[in-house]
Structure 1
């Protein structure tokens, strides 16, 4: 479990990484000494989410704990700002309007269920991040923060199926693999 102070360091690191990439001097630089804390060097899944005037502006991350948290924040900050295929790359003029959020994930756990109706009982809105895997290459995830826009299980899973390239009702088939995870989310305090 990270402290709020550690989380704010990660948020500053994400912004600093984007600023550096745009050739700007970071307003609130993070030192390597601050980032040397053992908790920040643990391998964990990490997502970086960017909002502009409360609208999504980029979100990229990794579900698997394949690299230390600080490395994941750096890599995913660049990817969210400049390589999210849904958006044009961030430009310097947008920096002041961006809000940066970092989510640090727990290890995903398979969700055992027999029928689609079980999911209505098993999923915890507002708490669970969900990974959905279907036939072929179909795969998608929603961070727990998505429950804010889709607060009930049925539309949440329907949109997640669509994101995976499946019909919106595919979750009702009982043939999908689901995993859940939790996040610690840290956002800029503006």
Structure 2
């Protein structure tokens, strides 16, 4: 899905509205309903990233499009502000200095790679987001993480650590998906 400037503005306004409506409630506010642009009712998956100054303040999202993009933005904006387990709930004082970035994901593509070396051969640094799954554990890095981890080997090793695996972990049957994002 390629979003035009008006659609991007609508989604950013929706994310802000979700957070602002929840600040006085202490819980997620009722979903406002249909988007202005009906195209935003298509299934979509996104992450909403909050930054206070230059520091990460929250980032939650979905990897699979199981609901409309519009509803996904509403829920993930709230979760990033109030339910990211790495941070306390956002306060009204912090909100004034908090920026929002939305990353809309392409459909993840399962890649047939049997080792970390094979993954590194097909990986496009700066472009691909990666999902790794072995058993019940799964982790993902958005393409934006390449800014902090530009070395492909380190990118994958940190992704494995995020899942709670050793950096050199690669079991038989590791599942790998690649995706891209449209971020704004």
Is TM > 0.5 for Structure 1 vs Structure 2? yes
Corresponding residue for 1:168? Answer: 167
Moved over 4 A (4+): none
Which residue of the partner structure matches residue 13 of structure 2?
12
Show structure 1 runs of 5+ residues with no match: 25-30
**CA–CA distance in 2 between the matches of 1:54 and 1:4?**
25
Mapped to 1, the partners of 2:9 and 2:123 lie a distance apart of: 29
SS in structure 1 of the partner of residue 166 of structure 2: coil
Corresponding residue for 1:51?
51
TM-score normalized by the length of structure 2: 0.90
Contact conserved, 2:48 with 2:80, CA < 8 A, in 1?
yes
CA shift, 1:170, in A, is 1.2
Structure 2 residue 110 is the aligned partner of structure 1 residue 102 = no
Q: Which consecutive unaligned segments of at least 5 residues does structure 2 have?
A: 26-31
Per-residue CA deviation, residues 41-64 of structure 1 (Å, 9 max, x unaligned), is 110111111011111110110111
> Residue in 1 aligned with 2:150?
151
**Are the counterparts in 1 of residues 114 and 174 from structure 2 also a CA contact under 8 Å?**
no
Cα distance between partner residues in 2 of 1:115 and 1:95: 43
Shift of 1:20: 1.1
- Aligned equivalents of 1:52, 1:18: Cα separation in 2: 14
Corresponding residue for residue 93 of structure 1? 93
| 2:29 match | none
For residue 182 of structure 1, what is the aligned residue in structure 2? Answer: 180
Residue pair 1:2, 1:39 contacting (<8 A) in 2 also: no
CA distance in structure 2 between the aligned counterparts of 1:15 and 1:151, rounded to whole angstroms: 30
How far apart are 1:114 and its partner, in Å? 3.1
For residues 147 and 159 of structure 2, what CA distance do their matches in structure 1 show? 14
Aligned to 2:4: 3
Report what 2:79 is aligned to.
Answer: 79
Q: Who is 2:28 aligned against?
A: none
TM-superposed CA distance for 1:174, in Å, is 6.0
Task: Tell me the distance in 2 between the aligned counterparts of 1:8 and 1:148.
Answer: 25
What's 1:67 paired with?
67
Question: Root-mean-square deviation (CA), in Å?
Answer: 1.8
TM-score normalised by structure 1 residue count? 0.87
How far has the Cα of 1:4 moved from its partner?
Answer: 2.6
Report the count of equivalent residues.
177
